[in-house]
Amino acid sequence: MSLLVVQHQDTCPPGRLGQWLTAAGVELDVRRPYAGEELPSEVSAHDGLLVLGGQMGCRDDEVAPWLPAVRELIRTAAKGATPTLGICLGHQLAAVALGGEAGRNPAGRTVGMLTVTARPELADDPVFAAAAGAPVAHWNDDIVTRLPSGATTLAINERGDLLVARLAPTVWGVQGHPEVDHSIVMDWATKDADSPEIADLDVPGVLAEIEAALPAVDAAWRPVATAFAALL
């Protein structure tokens, strides 16, 4: 099983999600276009597609000139019924690629551990059913503001933001970051250290909260990764 993985920046790796997928027998073909690595024009050589997070917006093509190619890959994967998963920015890219919209969260930046508050549809979902009630880290400014036609909301968070969605029959997105650990979030905090939006944030407290939640995250999200791998 070969999974094409699009990584948008060095501080947003596959992390623990990559470890769970590898343990499930998936070979990760990680492409780093920010480092000059080429993206394929289609997904036919792979069994699935994983699009990771990043600091840029999903339409910041001038900042990340590979984004149009990623959106096209997502559309191609959806048309070909190729299992696809988007994480944070990847979730927003998938929503926009398939006809939805994303933009700044009017409630402001979301940081810290929040909970997968399930909608009834989550219980029957072949990938995310195990995530009901699970904790998941957030570190985002943008959210999906309108789903594509035919998409299904599977879960929200405590703020009422869309958290998990089935964007097309074989395309899923999650706004949170099940893949992170302490070191990844520390990199984000360091990169955002001068941002006024986190000036009052208790970064050590957030890091401690994420670290404490890792066993619960593993218990809930490893089965999600295994279920996604089973579709490849």
Q: How many CA atoms lie within 13 A of 216 on its CB side?
A: 15
Residue 189 has pLDDT above 90, yes or no: no
CB 7 within 8 A of CB 13: yes
Class of domain 2-231: alpha beta
Asked if residue 79 has pLDDT above 70, the reply is yes
User: Residues 83-142: pLDDT tens digits?
Assistant: 999 999 999 999 999 999 999 998 888 888 999 999 999 999 999 999 999 999 998 999
Half-sphere exposure of 57 (CA within 13 A, CB side): 13
Q: Would you say how long the chain is, in residues?
A: 232
Q: Using CA of residue 172, residue 178, residue 179, residue 180, what is the dihedral sign? A: positive
Q: Which helix (H) or strand (E) holds 217?
A: helix 203-231
Mean pLDDT of 49-54: 97
* Mean pLDDT of all residues in 197-224: 87
Of the chain, the percentage scoring pLDDT greater than 90 comes to 83
User: Which positions ≥6 away from 212 have C-beta within 8 Å?
Assistant: none
